[in-house]
């Protein structure tokens, strides 16, 4: 674990366990959303098992993992076995650490991962996803619910998925997968007015003097203290949290295992909300931040 996260990781253990249960529920729904599960999708479920093997003696995984393993032993996941796992996940879910909206967004992220697990997105899968979105309208205005809905509606308009649309969907959905992966989210879209634009600014102009910076995730190069020292040296200041007064949110490459979601956390969520409301706030990747620092000489 990155040194920046060690001091508070122990306080989020229960939250991480609940996030894992929500993710398993979403994976099961995602890989079976078209009514069939192929070998690649089955393998994606095995990845979840591998990632949580060391927790098999801890509640709730001492109940959950044996059920999933038994269901997968014959290489086939029947409808009854899927229903049993979903029922158990629902019973083990809690709102102690995450409210229903956050829990269902965690589930939605995993559904996207399950859909894209075999490297191909079918019309049947998109229609299944569209139905799931319709059944969870309480997530409206929450990123990325609206953006996913817009993409699905646009792609299904002509009742076929062409090569360019397939590529676009795979790239977008893959951003939300973090099973055995510490990537941070970078390129999916957000809604701004009637348009979809990239999350992170492309080749941003970063001004340090008089600007306020906020950081999320871990940097591959520096500690959080070193990043703050760099910003202060160049005339900027560092904010501990996101607000409309922040000029730049810098996303570190290594992510944070304690985030509310697999590949981003509350700061990104809040920054997206502020951007949608018209705030002049840029979300930038740490590589662009380092480039801007280098340009200062």
Name the nearest CA neighbour of 224 among 215, 233, 237. 215
Q: 206-216 pLDDT, tens per residue? A: 999 999 999 99
- Hey, how many other C-beta atoms are within 10 angstroms of the C-beta on 198? 12
Confidence at residue 8, expressed as pLDDT on a 0 to 100 scale: 41
Name the nearest CA neighbour of 205 among 280, 274, 282, 278. 282
Distance CA 276, CA 274 (A): 5
Average pLDDT estimate for 76-95: 89
Distance CA 184, CA 182 (A): 7
- Between 280 and 11, name the one with better pLDDT: 280
Task: List, by residue range, all CATH 3.40.50.10190 domains of the chain.
Answer: 212-295
Distance CA 264, CA 176 (A): 9
Distance CA 268, CA 242 (A): 8
Is 1:84 a contact under the CB 8 Å cutoff? no
Confidence at residue 163, expressed as pLDDT on a 0 to 100 scale: 94
Handedness of CA 229, 231, 236, 238 (dihedral sign): negative
Question: Could you tell me if residue 193 is left (phi over 0), alpha (psi between -120 and 50 degrees) or otherwise beta?
Answer: left
- Hey, how many other C-beta atoms are within 10 angstroms of the C-beta on 233? 11
Distance CA 102, CA 136 (A): 12
Confidence at residue 139, expressed as pLDDT on a 0 to 100 scale: 96
Distance CA 57, CA 65 (A): 9
Token output for 180: 């055995």
- Hey, how many other C-beta atoms are within 10 angstroms of the C-beta on 39? 8
Looking at every residue in the chain, the average pLDDT score rounds to: 88
**CATH code of the domain made up of 212-295:** 3.40.50.10190
Check whether 52 has a pLDDT greater than 60: yes
Q: 130-169 pLDDT, tens per residue? A: 999 999 999 998 999 999 999 999 999 998 999 999 999 9
Task: Please name the residues in contact with 195: beta carbons below 8 A apart, sequence gap of 6 or more.
Answer: none
Is 41:111 a contact under the CB 8 Å cutoff? no
Distance CA 236, CA 209 (A): 5
Confidence at residue 161, expressed as pLDDT on a 0 to 100 scale: 94
Token output for 144: 């990325």
Query: pLDDT band at 182, cuts 50/70/90?
Result: low
Answer whether 0.95 is exceeded by the pTM. no
């Amino acid at each position: 674990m990155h040194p920046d996260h060690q001091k508070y990781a122990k306080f989020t253990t229960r939250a991480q366990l609940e996030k894992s249960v929500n993710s398993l529920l979403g994976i099961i729904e995602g890989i079976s959303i078209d009514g069939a599960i192929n070998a690649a999708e089955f393998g994606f479920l095995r990845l979840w098992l591998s990632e949580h093997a060391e927790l098999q003696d801890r509640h709730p995984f001492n109940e959950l993992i044996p059920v999933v393993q038994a269901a997968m032993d014959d290489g086939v996941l029947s409808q009854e076995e899927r229903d049993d796992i979903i029922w158990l996940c629902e019973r083990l879910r809690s709102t102690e650490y995450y409210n229903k909206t956050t829990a269902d967004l965690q589930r939605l992220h995993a559904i996207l991962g399950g859909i894209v697990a075999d490297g191909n997105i079918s019309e049947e899968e998109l229609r299944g996803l569209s139905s799931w979105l319709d059944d969870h309208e309480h997530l409206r205005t929450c990123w990325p619910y609206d953006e996913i809905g817009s993409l699905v509606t646009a792609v299904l308009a002509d009742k076929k998925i062409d090569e360019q649309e397939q590529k676009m969907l795979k790239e977008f959905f893959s951003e939300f997968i973090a099973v055995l992966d510490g990537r941070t989210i970078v390129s999916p879209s957000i809604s701004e007015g009637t348009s979809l634009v990239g999350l992170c600014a492309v080749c941003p102009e970063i001004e340090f003097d008089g600007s306020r910076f906020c950081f999320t995730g871990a940097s591959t190069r520096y500690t959080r203290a070193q990043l703050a020292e760099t910003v202060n040296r160049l005339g900027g200041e560092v904010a501990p949290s996101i607000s409309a007064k922040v000029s730049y949110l810098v996303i570190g490459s290594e992510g944070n295992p304690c985030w509310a979601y697999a590949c981003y956390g509350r700061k990104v969520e809040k920054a997206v909300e502020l951007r949608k409301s018209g705030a002049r706030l840029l979300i930038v990747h740490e590589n662009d931040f380092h480039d801007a620092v280098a340009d200062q000489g």
